[in-house]
Amino acid sequence: MSNSVTNSNDYLQYLLKSWSAKSASELTGLNQLRASAIDSVGTQKLPNKHDEEWRFTDISPLTRLTYPPSQQQSRLQFSDIDKFCLQNTTNRLVFVDNHYSPDLSNVADSQIQILGNLHSLMSSHASTIESHLGHYAKFDHDIFTALNTAFLHDSALIIVPAKTCITEPIHLLFIASQQEVSSYPRSLVVSGPDSKVTLIEDYVSINQSSYITNTVTEIRLAAHAQVEHIRVQRDSKQAHHLANCAVSLADSSQYQSICVSLGARISRYNLEVQLTGENSNCTIDGLTLISGQQLSDTHTSIDHVKPNCTSRQQHKCIVDGTAHAVFNGKIKVRPQAQQTNSSQSSRNLLLSNTAKVDTKPQLEIFADDVKCAHGATVGQLDSEEIFYLESRGLSKTTARNLLTYAFAADVINRIPVASLKQQLEQIVLNQTQGI
């Protein structure tokens, strides 16, 4: 372990120094972006619990984890990662400790899509990359986005040309194999007009070690584009996972997100969706399933900028042990966004008497002709439902397990990729049966 630093400024300085030591020459086209991100890091501080956006999530332990950026040293074989791969997904980009691994990756048909490591596609697609990268995930007010941008190196790039429908899901597999390192995965998805793509963003670890993952994902949907985005965070239970995802929707586009959060000691996921085109719509489902001493924080913001858009959101948390789940969901309707139709629900299940949940669904409405509603519930399993199952001969434990599983399955069942759905069902089943 590196020398320990105690305050936030020292910590950021330390991180920056570790960056300067790295060669930056490979990404000439992006040096400008990285340089301004570095400047921005210099002007920001790590948030603490006095910041409204971080009041329930204490990330001060981070300053004691001065993990250097991960170096390329992977000797992983396909057999090591086989268990993470999905059947019927021939499109797979694999990053090990955020270093692109062409040997483990597989790209089915490069004729219909542009898919690969941003680093190697930079020369051929510079203008697309430059006009999108860093345009949605802004770093001025987010230290973690700034750090990620400063450390920009290998990144997943998906460009779906206009009128192209990619039938095979694309699996972005981010594997952590080293301990006590920081890695900065980055993804950019640009889907053209009338295109369609399904994307699986998957964070896994080889062993249960401690490391920091700080990821940024940007997704742009052109008019009439459709993107299904499934995000699975199954990091090591010792890891720290910090993530930002920014999505921008043009006219009549559709974004569907399903986010499953299972791993990490402390995790934070910020999802910002901007409906910047008329008649666009988004559906966001989330499931947080945590136990032990885990803390999982999900912050979402759905920003209705233009009229006639719809959004629907459901977030579910199942919390056991002394774990702590946080949900903060903001729906903003700007003055010109008339005819917005938006609904949001936060449902939380506490399984132990030491588990804790903080939920804060928010509406900020500036247009009058809108329909917006949100709801939140926190509670235990319904005793009437348990009784009903018992009266049909099930034991109390079985009844509870069944209902807990059903609570989670509601989200899992929405996943359109059968192989992934089965994997997650098994994980959820194992976890809910252990209760």
List interacting residues with other proteins (CB under 8 A): 52, 335, 338, 348, 350-380
Taking the complex as a whole, the smallest distance from the CB of residue 253 to other proteins amounts, in Å, to 25
What is the distance between the alpha carbons of residues 175 and 91, in angstroms, rounded to a whole number? 16
Instruction: Give the nearest distance from C-beta 375 to other proteins in angstroms.
Output: 5
> Torsions phi, psi of 27, nearest 5?
-110, 55
The token pair at 282 is 């988004």
Candidates 260, 164, 163, 272; CA nearest to 216 is: 272
Nearer to other proteins, 107 or 370 (CB): 370
4 vs 352, which CB is nearer to other proteins? Answer: 352
- Least Å distance, CB 360 to other proteins, is 5
Residue 378 CB, nearest approach to other proteins (Å):
4
Q: Which is nearer to other proteins, 126 or 373 (CB)?
A: 373
- What is the smallest separation between the CB atom of 310 and other proteins, expressed in angstroms? 15
Least distance in angstroms from the C-beta of 125 to other proteins? 42
Could you count the other beta carbons within 10 Å of the beta carbon of residue 248? Answer: 24
Nearer to other proteins, 78 or 366 (CB): 366
CB of 312 to other proteins, least distance (A): 15
Answer for the pair 257, 226: CB distance below 8 angstroms, yes or no: no
What is the closest distance, in whole angstroms, from the C-beta atom of residue 383 to other proteins in the complex?
A: 11
How deeply is 111 buried, as exposed, middle or buried, from its count of CB atoms within 10 A (0-12, 13-18, 19+)? Answer: exposed
DSSP secondary structure letter of residue 368: S
Write out the DSSP string of 290-341: E-TT-EEEEEEEEEE-SSS-EEEEEEEEEE-TT-EEEEEEEEEE-TT-TT-E
Q: What is the largest CA-CA distance in the chain?
A: 69
34 versus 306: smaller Cβ distance to other proteins? 306
Which residue number, 345 or 433, has a Cβ lying nearer to other proteins?
345
Instruction: Write the CB contacts of 235 (distance below 8 Å, at least 6 apart in sequence).
Output: 176, 203, 204, 205, 213, 241, 263, 264, 267
Nearest to 151 by CA among 278, 56, 21, 51: 21
Task: Closer to other proteins by CB, 109 or 364: give it.
Answer: 364
> Would you say 237 or 374 has its CB closer to other proteins?
374
Contact 242, 215 (CB under 8 A): yes
